[in-house]
């Protein structure tokens, strides 16, 4: 038995030097490929960039941290190219991988911890979710780093009291909150761990310090919500379908929604890692886990379970559980290292293939197609082409005011046409705004005369005042097959009307 165990351990040993070479190598590959990335900014990315041009303590659909990060990189580089907007993503993942290694060593402070830590770093850096979010800029890449720092501090505080680490715990959770409110899904698991595990309890003084520091960090955003009709909170409630009958459609439909979310997690972190997390759940149920394994479970799987329930009763996106995969990666690697021979290498191979392919797809985004003829990256191309077409129409028609109501169109117009002599506005439908653009950049009431209105549906303007200038269908991209319409209309045609107050779409 000892020979078998030793053979398994030897087969899975990974030196710290090699692990660091893989982590930095993957990061360098991602950064270099960003230089040649041929995709346009996705609608969310363009919106985050625009937020960064209008710094605030909160925004319509997210807290402010991602806008601050993008603005920081734009300022230090002197550029707002897609490269500098996105380059923070692989750098944040690099920092998270290194921090997870430190966290692993802190939790498992023996020879096993030293052997597992390199695997935790390389497995995380090659997770499918990390590979996808490394070519985009998203809130997830920022949040998971600060969740990892919080876990590192929490483990330290469970062993000794420290005002400094308590402050780090509070600040990191506060920053994670300023990045994405989904960090709150971590709290129930933390509470259960502290109640059920003596080794997970921290001094009340440290709890108080962390709470005070965290409250100070998040207070500007909370105050922003108070003074802005609780915009971000209301938006979060809307997309989650809380209290709106989002679960209607029958038990079968709800069950499929919940199972669909769980199934998607095999793609988010890879089949081997998520299987290992489910295996850890079964071990805990059977009483086979020690306190350290239980702590990692309570810091990860309750997030997945809670959001799966959210998906069952209403709606949830696959990436909402990202905060689970800081502790979850350590949990999965530790289990695979001890109990399987090939699990880690299989996971690394799968992740490495994905880590190589995704950046390549972004470089050849206009060339690689599916069997049906659609571009693999169609969601991420063709957006600037539409904005340039709209600019040409506006120039030919000698109009400087451009109005749209579709968030995808507006997001790219603001980015692609930055610095050009156009004034871009969102159509105002009245009532609570449906997007950041409607909230802050609606067509002003003092604009008179004609404006260029662009939408993906025909315009019904009373009195036949809308003059269709052009209709066209984009040849590729996410709007391929749709018809876009450009109208010359009097601004009064787009003024809010009582019957339109409940129309329009809401940000994701």
* pLDDT one-digit tens code per residue, 218-262: 999 999 999 988 877 777 766 655 555 544 557 777 788 888 989
| 111 and 253 together in one domain | yes
* pLDDT one-digit tens code per residue, 147-197: 999 999 999 999 999 999 999 999 999 999 999 999 999 999 999 999 999
| 299 and 350 together in one domain | yes
Q: Number of structural domains, the chain?
A: 2
Q: Is the pLDDT of residue 212 over 80?
A: yes
Tell me the two tokens of residue 125.
């850096």
| 341 and 248 together in one domain | yes
| 112 and 241 together in one domain | yes
Total residue count of the chain as it appears in this document: 508
Task: Report if residue 325 sits inside a domain.
Answer: yes
| 347 and 397 together in one domain | no
The domain boundary, picked from 332, 363, 394, lies at: 363
**Confidence bin at 395 (pLDDT 50/70/90):** very high
* pLDDT one-digit tens code per residue, 327-336: 999 999 999 9
Residue 504: per-residue pLDDT = 44
| 69 and 129 together in one domain | yes
Identify which has the larger pLDDT, 145 or 505: 145
* pLDDT one-digit tens code per residue, 418-459: 999 999 999 998 888 889 999 999 999 888 889 999 999 999
Task: Report if residue 192 sits inside a domain.
Answer: no
The domain boundary, picked from 363, 393, 415, lies at: 363
Rounded to 5 degrees, φ, ψ at 258 are: -65, -45
d(Cα 129, Cα 136) in Å, to the nearest integer? 11
Query: Where are the extended beta strands (E) located within 199-308?
Result: none
| 342 and 454 together in one domain | no
CA angle 48, 50, 51 (to 5 degrees): 65
Q: Is the pLDDT of residue 488 over 80?
A: yes
Task: Report if residue 151 sits inside a domain.
Answer: no
d(Cα 68, Cα 48) in Å, to the nearest integer? 9
DSSP codes of every residue in 387-413: HHHHHHHHHHTT--EEEE--HHHHHHH
Give SS3 for 96: helix
CA atoms within 13 A on the CB side of 115: 16
Task: Report if residue 170 sits inside a domain.
Answer: no
| 394 and 358 together in one domain | no
Task: Report if residue 149 sits inside a domain.
Answer: no
Sign of CA dihedral 285, 289, 295, 296: negative
Q: Is the pLDDT of residue 316 over 70?
A: yes
Task: Report if residue 193 sits inside a domain.
Answer: no
Residue 498: per-residue pLDDT = 56
- State the helix-helix crossing angle for 65-77 and 43-53, rounded to 10 degrees: 70
Identify which has the larger pLDDT, 507 or 235: 235
The domain boundary, picked from 363, 391, 424, lies at: 363
Residue 500: per-residue pLDDT = 44
Identify which has the larger pLDDT, 396 or 7: 396
| 391 and 346 together in one domain | no
| 352 and 396 together in one domain | no
Task: Report if residue 213 sits inside a domain.
Answer: no
| 277 and 389 together in one domain | no
Give SS3 for 41: coil
| 402 and 340 together in one domain | no
* % the chain with pLDDT above 90: 78
Mean residue pLDDT of the chain comes to 91
Q: What is the span of the domain harbouring residue 71?
A: 9-143+228-363
Task: Report if residue 318 sits inside a domain.
Answer: yes
Residue pair 223/178 in contact by the 8 Å Cβ criterion: no
């Amino acid at each position: 038995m000892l020979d078998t165990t030793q053979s398994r351990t030897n087969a899975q040993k990974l030196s710290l030097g090699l692990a660091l070479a893989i982590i930095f190598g993957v990061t360098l590959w991602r950064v270099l490929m960003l230089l040649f990335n041929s995709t346009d900014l996705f609608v969310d990315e363009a919106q985050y960039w625009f937020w960064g041009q209008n710094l605030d303590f909160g925004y319509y659909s997210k807290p402010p941290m991602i806008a601050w990060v993008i603005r920081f990189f734009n300022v230090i580089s002197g550029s707002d190219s897609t490269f500098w907007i996105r380059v923070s993503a692989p750098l944040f993942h690099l920092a998270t991988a290194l921090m997870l290694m430190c966290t692993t060593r802190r939790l498992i402070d023996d020879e096993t911890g030293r052997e597992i830590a390199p695997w935790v770093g390389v497995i995380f850096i090659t997770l499918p979710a990390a590979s996808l979010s490394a070519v985009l800029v998203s809130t997830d890449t920022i949040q998971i780093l600060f969740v990892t720092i919080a876990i590192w501090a929490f483990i330290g505080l469970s062993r000794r009291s420290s005002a400094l680490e308590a402050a780090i715990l509070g600040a990191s959770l506060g920053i994670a909150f300023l990045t994405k409110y989904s960090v709150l899904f971590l709290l129930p698991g933390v509470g259960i761990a502290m109640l059920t595990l003596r080794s997970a309890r921290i001094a009340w003084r440290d709890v108080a310090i962390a709470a005070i520091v965290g409250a100070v960090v998040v207070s500007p955003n909370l105050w922003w919500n108070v003074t802005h009709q609780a915009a971000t909170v209301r938006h979060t409630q809307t997309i989650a379908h809380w209290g709106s009958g989002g679960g209607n459609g029958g038990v079968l439909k709800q069950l499929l929604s919940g199972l669909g979310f769980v199934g998607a997690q095999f793609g988010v972190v890879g089949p081997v890692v998520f299987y290992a997390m489910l295996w850890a759940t079964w071990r805990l149920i059977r009483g086979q886990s020690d306190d350290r394994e239980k702590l990692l479970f309570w810091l990860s799987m309750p997030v997945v379970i809670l959001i799966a329930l959210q998906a069952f009763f209403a709606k949830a996106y696959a990436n909402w559980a990202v905060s689970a995969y800081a502790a979850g990666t350590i949990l999965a690697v530790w289990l695979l290292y001890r109990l399987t021979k090939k699990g880690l290498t299989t996971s690394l191979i799968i992740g490495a293939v994905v880590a190589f392919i995704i950046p390549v797809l972004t470089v050849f985004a206009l060339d690689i197609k599916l069997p049906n003829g659609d571009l693999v990256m169609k969601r991420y191309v063709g957006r600037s082409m539409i904005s340039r077409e709209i600019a040409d129409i506006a120039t030919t028609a000698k109009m400087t005011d451009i109005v749209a109501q579709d968030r995808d169109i507006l997001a790219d117009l603001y980015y692609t046409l930055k610095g050009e002599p156009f004034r871009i506005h969102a159509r105002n439908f009245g009532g609570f705004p449906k997007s950041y653009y409607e909230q802050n950049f609606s067509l002003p009431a003092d604009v008179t005369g004609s404006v260029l209105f662009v939408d993906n549906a025909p315009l019904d303007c009373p009195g036949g005042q809308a003059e269709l200038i052009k209709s066209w269908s984009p040849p590729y991209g996410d709007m391929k097959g749709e018809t876009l319409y450009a109208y010359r209309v009097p601004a009064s045609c787009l003024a809010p009307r009582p019957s339109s107050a409940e129309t329009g779409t809401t940000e994701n």
